[in-house]
Amino acid sequence: MSSSLRFPKNFIFGVATSAYQIEGATSEGGRTDSIWDTFCRVPGKTHSGHTGDIACDHYHRYAEDVQTIADLGVSSYRFSIAWPRIFPEKGKFNAEGMDFYKRLVDELEKRQLKPAVTMYHWDLPEWLGQMGGWLNRDVSKYFGEYAETLLHHLGVQVDTWITHNEPWCASFLSYGIGEHAPGHTDWREALTAAHHLLLSHGEALQAYRASGLGGNIGITLNLGAVYPASSSPEDVAAARTADGFTNRWFLDPLFRAQYPEDMLEKFEARVGRVDFIRDGDLQHISAPMDFLGVNYYTRSVVKADVTSEFLGVGYVPSSPDSQTDMGWEVHPESLYRLLKRVASEYTDIPLYVTENGAAYADVLEDDGQIHDTARIAYVEGHLAAAERFIEDGGDLRGYYLWSLMDNFEWAYGYSKRFGIVYVDYDTQKRVLKDSAKWYRELATKHRTQLV
């Protein structure tokens, strides 16, 4: 079961979660609804009507969960803060909500675990949703104030901050494709939301610099590697568009202070002038960051398809033998290529893999074990790609496995298990899967070589 992977001395092994996916206690401690609470109540939006009401009950079990993380031998924990716990109503700060995260951070500190905190992992307060959500430019100002509040209360103990998790999902998947809250299907809205999310990232960055805190702040993007199905000019052009849609629409404004011309043209032909982008916005968005977080799960292969509503891009399904339970193709080589590409085309700031992992239909055996060998192979393959990037001189500082434990997988509810720790949702019992034991061995070996 042991592995020959080797990483630089200060390399961080971590595990990741997000608030809505694990906390539960959605109406406790002064929290009000987020847009995900309301979305889950709409029939047909989530698998079997699942909600985050209880989830992994982490709100009550956080101490036990932190102990589990410590036992895994990792050095860092990435989690997110639920905005509606901090500001349950317009202008109302909720000390009880903040206390929960203070206790969590204290607990991590006691066990020498470094927190990496995501400010926004999709659970927008419903009161902001009522104001138009990310379509309302003012929401970026509210985000700036929320960020300032988090930094004021936690900034001394937390030195790694992620403004947003996957703005592509919070905009395109949520306002364009309609699969995530608030479930709209309007491409003008999707682009507006994406812009305001990026703008709000700029607000949080500004708040961080103004705070005088000396830690690190960055953003996490879900990036993919895109391949044309053939070398025909049409397929190659489709791959360029798909890359623009997934990657460049976010990387270019952040690192080049501009939206990609080719995509602007395509989008404007479809949704009209993007006049919600105002003078000065791109300077604000592209202020220097300390690191970039990359979430990587799969690659895509695309072909030209005039009937496709995605700007003429058709996605070619992968072979079922090489897929995870999400239907995502396992392709570790693409993680290597993606990291290389980001480093060569966009930035030399440090990179982190802030999420990588796999869902499989795990079975709790009679002996109480979960033999998830496919997940081990997935993680090992991707870590080998990360190791290779570092050997080539790449500045990758850490790897956060998604996820610490099985949890609420958004529209898929509890039907997909990404955890290295199994959660029995009837009893809330946690059981280490074989992958957790494998990761523990790797992280422990890594750590003990340090001393």
Q: Min. distance of Cβ 401 from ligand FCB in angstroms?
A: 11
Q: Two tokens at 134?
A: 């990310």
The contact set with ligand FCB (CB under 6 A) reads 18, 21, 165-166, 169, 222, 295, 355, 402, 409-410, 418
- The identity of residue 12, as a single letter, is I
Q: Which residues pair with 15 in a beta bridge?
A: 77, 401
- The identity of residue 32, as a single letter, is T
As a whole number of angstroms, the distance between CA 306 and CA 376 comes to 39
As a whole number of angstroms, the distance between CA 60 and CA 57 comes to 6
Q: Min. distance of Cβ 407 from ligand FCB in angstroms?
A: 8
Q: Min. distance of Cβ 423 from ligand FCB in angstroms?
A: 15
Residue with tokens 């898929």: 412
Question: Which candidate in 126, 148, 166, 409 is catalytic?
Answer: 166
Contact 330, 298 (CB under 8 A): yes
Mapping DSSP to helix (H, G, I), strand (E, B) and coil, where does residue 182 land? coil
Q: Which is nearer to ligand FCB, 57 or 325 (CB)?
A: 325
Q: Which is nearer to ligand FCB, 12 or 169 (CB)?
A: 169
Contact 118, 155 (CB under 8 A): no
Q: Two tokens at 316?
A: 């070619």
Short-list 207, 297, 199, CA closest to 254? 199
Q: Which is nearer to ligand FCB, 83 or 410 (CB)?
A: 410
Q: Which is nearer to ligand FCB, 166 or 387 (CB)?
A: 166
Q: Which is nearer to ligand FCB, 222 or 286 (CB)?
A: 222
Output b/e per residue, 395-425; b: 16+ Cβ within 10 A: ebbbbbbbbbbbbbbbbbbbebbbbbbbbee
Output b/e per residue, 58-95; b: 16+ Cβ within 10 A: bbebbeebbebbbebbbbbbbbbbbbbbbbbeeeeebe
Q: Two tokens at 258?
A: 């501009």
- The identity of residue 375, as a single letter, is R
Q: Min. distance of Cβ 18 from ligand FCB in angstroms?
A: 5
Q: Min. distance of Cβ 403 from ligand FCB in angstroms?
A: 7
Q: Which is nearer to ligand FCB, 129 or 224 (CB)?
A: 224
Q: Min. distance of Cβ 287 from ligand FCB in angstroms?
A: 23
Q: Which is nearer to ligand FCB, 75 or 356 (CB)?
A: 356
| Region of 313 on the Ramachandran plot (φ > 0 left; ψ -120 to 50 alpha; else beta) | beta
**Alpha-helix runs per DSSP H in 50-123:** 58-71, 83-86, 95-110
Q: Give 365's contacts (C-beta < 8 A, 6+ positions apart).
A: 371
Give the full edge-to-edge strand order of the sheet including 225-228: 225-228, 299-304, 313-315
Q: Which is nearer to ligand FCB, 32 or 220 (CB)?
A: 220
Q: Min. distance of Cβ 318 from ligand FCB in angstroms?
A: 17
- Helix 187-211 / helix 249-256 crossing angle, nearest 10 deg: 30
Q: Min. distance of Cβ 323 from ligand FCB in angstroms?
A: 14
Q: Min. distance of Cβ 186 from ligand FCB in angstroms?
A: 21
Antiparallel, parallel or unpaired: β 299-304 and 313-315? antiparallel
As a whole number of angstroms, the distance between CA 1 and CA 18 comes to 29
Query: Is there a catalytic annotation at residue 355?
Result: yes
Contact 58, 403 (CB under 8 A): no
Question: Which candidate in 126, 203, 355, 409 is catalytic?
Answer: 355
Q: Which is nearer to ligand FCB, 171 or 222 (CB)?
A: 222
Query: Is there a catalytic annotation at residue 387?
Result: no
The residues annotated with a catalytic role in the active site are 166, 355
